[in-house]
A and B are shown apart, each in its own frame.
Chain A
Amino acid sequence: MKKDRHIAAYIILSLGALLMILPFFWMILSSLKTAAEVNTTPPTFLPEDPTLENYIYAFQKAPFARYFLNSVLVTALCVAFTMFTTILAAFAFSRLKFPGRDVIFSALLALMMIPFEMLIITNYQTIVKWDLIDNLWALVLPFTSSIFYTYVLRNFFLSIPDSLYHSARVDGASNWFYLWRIMVPISKPALATIGLLDAITCWNAFLWTVLVTNKAETRTLPFGLYAFMSSSGIRYERLMAAATIVVLPMIILFICFRKQIVTGVSRGGLKG
């Protein structure tokens, strides 16, 4: 009886899992096919004559190398800046004493529900005013302060015993020294989660990129991919190769850091 139930569970899970990852498989398989093979009925499952031609096309004929570099650059800058502001703010909100600290913090939490889509109008004007259209900084600067990450990190900081702080203070450590020498190393797991979530968000950002970049040189991968589709016509084997280039780094990241990412997401969802 018990065994039967588990067999049913395995069957349902396997079918579900197959449906969930089918698009990824189909993407990769299609990207390895020739133009002729892609447009056949019935479709072939495995490529009959696997080719990397579509990838070569993406990197040589379309500026995907450039897009890739831009994405890496923007993601790295975003994560670095966000981590910096988040660490400092989370420390101030958890350790330092100043009047109105907790009231200010609750007010910030309320701001979390503002949809970003609502802010694009003014932010676009700001970027225009600062003359940053078609500049990679335009993709970084609006995303350097995250209330959500500050909230997550502050809670983690609060879970570190006071005695560590007092001990370091009695020994003469300044707040700055204590933060970087003790708090940050201890908080590595929380910081990793925040960094990963932020990296994923930055890498996949689309709407804002469409607004503030016009030239190919400043596009990141998702917008580059979209532009590739609009400009070079619908050639699915090429599009699938390009999509693989966009998606693959995140798949690798996810497989390596699944636990941290999943904890981060569930923590954020349930308490945020």
Chain B
Amino acid sequence: MKSIQRSRDGERVTARTIAEPILFLLPFIVGLVTFTIYPFVNVFLISFKENYNVLNGTFAKLGLKNYQEVITDPNFLNGLGNTAKYALIVVPIATVLSIIISTLLNKSIKLKSFFQTCFFLPMVTSITAIGLVWKWLFNFDYGLINYFLKLLGGNGINWLNDPRYNLAALIIYGVWSMIPFTTILILAGFQNVNPQYYTAARADGAREGKIFFRITLPLLAPTIGLTLIINMISASKVFSELFPLFNGKPGSAYSLYTVVYYLYDAFYSKWKLGRAAACAVVLFLIVLAMTMIQLFIQRKWKNY
């Protein structure tokens, strides 16, 4: 009788049981290694290669010059500042609005699916296409927004061509496009709140406002915390919105760089790969830090 190989837990080990997982994973792993893992490692290497030549792959030496250039580049600092402003303004506003919307959507109202469709629709639409629509809405002479402003007795604002208002325009568009995703997540968070808490609180005679601040909000806190972080991460990658609004420029006076725009610009317009890579590493560190916070929150709130 031939002897049979067994693994530690007594399963038969045959050529098939070894080969099968490899074959099942192969298509996935090939794609992952080629287009995620290898480029991820490589970007760190490039970021240290000074005077890197794209065409033949040669470089002067390994060093920190790229990082030095990036962190002293006014455009990068401008991008970092704008990205931070954008994230710190857009995310809280979008979150507060989403909390209000999801609280109302969570009530037993009619037309729920109609309202959901309206509020969630921007999520599935192309940033470029809808960005163009916003460009049209922001138009100085014929745009709908200035029309309403004038109707209310104000003056038209030159949103897109006056550098002072560029960031404001980007932020308005940003809030609008962040609301659907945020609302969906917070609505999902509501499902973890046991309705019996409300019944109990009402039976105790608590007012609606009190219920919201003393019960709903604390129970939603973990969801809101997560949403904040996820949105912060996505806001720190703000980029595509600039193309339709400012014709591919970082603001009308080149004053609205963002981190990813800087990366794109260094890479694709200036062909400074080392600098782009260094910027990419900085972006990664930002995301990494926020992910750590996210994991911390998730662990802390696990009991809910």
Touch between chains A and B, by CB atoms below 8 Å: yes
Q: Which residues of A contact B (CB under 8 A)?
A: 5-6, 9-10, 12-13, 16-24, 26-27, 30, 38-43, 84-86, 88-89, 91-92, 96-99, 101, 108, 111, 113-115, 117-126, 141-145, 147, 150, 175, 200, 203-204, 206-207, 210-211, 221-223, 225-226, 229-230, 236, 239-240, 242-243, 246-247, 250-251, 253-255, 258, 261-262, 265-266, 269-270
User: When chains A and B are docked, how far (Å) is the Cα of A150 from the Cα of B27?
Assistant: 12
User: When chains A and B are docked, how far (Å) is the Cα of A40 from the Cα of B273?
Assistant: 47
**Are A117 and B188 touching (Cβ within 8 A)?**
no
In the complex, B283 has a CB within 8 A of chain A: yes
Q: What are the residues of chain B within 8 A of A262 when measuring CB–CB?
A: 116, 120, 184
Most chain B beta-carbon contacts within 10 A, residue among A16, A126, A200 = A16
Q: Assuming the A-B contacts A26-B144, A115-B284, A270-B226, are A126 and B21 also in contact, with contact meaning beta carbons closer than 8 angstroms in the complex?
A: no
Cβ 8 A contact of B109, one of A6, A42, A101 = A6
By beta carbon, the residue of chain A nearest B54 is: A125
User: When chains A and B are docked, how far (Å) is the Cα of A206 from the Cα of B109?
Assistant: 38
Q: What are the residues of chain B within 8 A of A229 when measuring CB–CB?
A: 132, 244, 247
**Are A150 and B28 touching (Cβ within 8 A)?**
yes
Give the shortest distance, in Å, between A251 (CB) and chain B (any CB): 7
Q: What are the residues of chain A within 8 A of B118 when measuring CB–CB?
A: 17-18, 20-21
Cβ 8 A contact of B39, one of A13, A119, A210, A242 = A119
User: When chains A and B are docked, how far (Å) is the Cα of A270 from the Cα of B21?
Assistant: 29
**Are A27 and B133 touching (Cβ within 8 A)?**
yes
**Are B28 and A88 touching (Cβ within 8 A)?**
yes
User: When chains A and B are docked, how far (Å) is the Cα of A126 from the Cα of B185?
Assistant: 36
Q: What are the residues of chain B within 8 A of A99 when measuring CB–CB?
A: 7
User: When chains A and B are docked, how far (Å) is the Cα of A271 from the Cα of B276?
Assistant: 31
Q: What are the residues of chain B within 8 A of A40 when measuring CB–CB?
A: 142
A-B contact pairs, 18 of them (CB 8 A): A10-B109, A23-B137, A96-B24, A97-B11, A98-B22, A117-B264, A118-B281, A118-B283, A120-B267, A122-B46, A141-B31, A150-B28, A225-B128, A258-B120, A261-B124, A266-B184, A269-B230, A270-B188
**Are B24 and A88 touching (Cβ within 8 A)?**
yes
Cβ 8 A contact of B147, one of A42, A92, A142, A211 = A42
**Are A145 and B104 touching (Cβ within 8 A)?**
no
Interface SS of B by simple majority: helix
**Are B284 and A118 touching (Cβ within 8 A)?**
yes
**Are A119 and B260 touching (Cβ within 8 A)?**
no
**Are A122 and B239 touching (Cβ within 8 A)?**
no
Q: What are the residues of chain B within 8 A of A117 when measuring CB–CB?
A: 237, 239, 260, 263-264, 280, 283
Cβ 8 A contact of A200, one of B40, B54, B124, B129 = B124
Within 8 A of A (CB), among B8-41: 11, 17-18, 20-22, 24-25, 27-32, 34-40
User: When chains A and B are docked, how far (Å) is the Cα of A42 from the Cα of B129?
Assistant: 25
Q: What are the residues of chain A within 8 A of B113 when measuring CB–CB?
A: 258
Cβ 8 A contact of A98, one of B21, B137, B181 = B21
In the complex, B176 has a CB within 8 A of chain A: yes
Q: What are the residues of chain B within 8 A of A211 when measuring CB–CB?
A: 268
Cβ 8 A contact of A243, one of B34, B133, B147, B181 = B133
**Are A207 and B264 touching (Cβ within 8 A)?**
yes
Q: What are the residues of chain B within 8 A of A17 when measuring CB–CB?
A: 114-115, 118-119
Q: What are the residues of chain B within 8 A of A9 when measuring CB–CB?
A: 104, 107, 109
User: When chains A and B are docked, how far (Å) is the Cα of A255 from the Cα of B119?
Assistant: 12
Q: What are the residues of chain B within 8 A of A242 when measuring CB–CB?
A: 129
Q: What are the residues of chain B within 8 A of A269 when measuring CB–CB?
A: 181, 184-185, 188, 226-227, 230
Q: What are the residues of chain A within 8 A of B142 when measuring CB–CB?
A: 38-41, 43, 236
**4 extra A-B contacts, CB within 8 A, seeds A113-B291, A121-B43:** A43-B142, A118-B43, A175-B24, A265-B181
